[in-house]
């Protein structure tokens, strides 16, 4: 009976670990595509009047997650510089079914994107962001916010 229990426990562990791998592979398979940028929102709820900046993507804006673990993003602009084109290439790794780690490159530091939603035609990513602003008393204040990136295909 003890042997049967050990075999059952081993099979259960094997099944659940295989299930997690399959789930991760399906998220990775969904992620590795070319996604068109719908919008990029910067929101700072702790700033008075809840400051929000929005960039609405144009048809040429995209995020492309490649199978060689590179992310290429290309935008005609951004919320803070709407007419300034941005293109970046990052190495990335899917940490789990909800986190994408972007390795730093010459253009900037490392970052983590959180997958809020992923389907065959929709991807929503978020990441923390920070800003320093001058308040009404002319003091410099640091504020935390969130970037929400909405993509589709």
How far is residue 82's CA from residue 122's CA, in Å, rounded to a whole number? 24
CA distance 152 to 122: 4
User: pLDDT value at position 13?
Assistant: 40
Contact in structure between 90 and 112 (CB atoms under 8 Å): no
Considering only residues 13 and 153, tell me which one the structure prediction assigns the higher pLDDT: 153
CA atoms within 13 A on the CB side of 94: 20
Residue 2, CA atoms < 13 Å, CB-side half-sphere:
0
**Which candidate, 47, 32, 34, 54, places its Cα nearest to that of 147?**
54
Report which secondary-structure segment, H or E, holds 103.
Answer: none
Contact 37, 61 (CB under 8 A): yes
> What is the distance between the alpha carbons of residues 109 and 90, in angstroms, rounded to a whole number?
10
Instruction: Report percent pLDDT > 70 for the chain.
Output: 78
Looking only at Cα atoms, what is the longest distance across the chain? 75
Q: Give CA–CA dist 86/78, Å, rounded.
A: 8
Q: For 61-101, how does the pLDDT look when each residue is reduced to its tens digit (9 = 90+)?
A: 999 999 999 999 999 877 667 777 888 888 999 998 999 99
Residue-wise pLDDT tens digits, 103-143: 976 556 689 999 999 999 999 999 999 889 888 899 999 99
pTM, two decimals, is 0.76
């Amino acid at each position: 009976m003890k042997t049967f229990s050990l075999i059952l426990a081993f099979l259960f562990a094997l099944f659940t670990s295989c299930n997690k791998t399959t789930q991760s592979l399906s998220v990775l398979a969904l992620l590795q595509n070319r996604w068109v940028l719908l919008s990029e929102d910067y929101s700072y709820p702790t700033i008075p009047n809840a400051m929000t900046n929005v960039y609405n993507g144009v048809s040429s804006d995209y995020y492309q997650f490649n199978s060689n673990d590179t992310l290429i993003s290309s935008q005609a602009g951004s919320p803070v510089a709407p007419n300034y084109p941005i293109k970046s290439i990052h190495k990335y790794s899917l940490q789990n079914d909800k986190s994408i780690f972007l390795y730093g490159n010459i253009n900037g530091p490392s970052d983590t994107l959180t997958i809020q939603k992923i389907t065959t035609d929709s991807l929503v990513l978020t990441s923390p962001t920070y800003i320093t602003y001058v308040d009404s008393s002319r003091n410099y204040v640091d504020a935390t916010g969130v970037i929400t990136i909405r993509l589709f295909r």
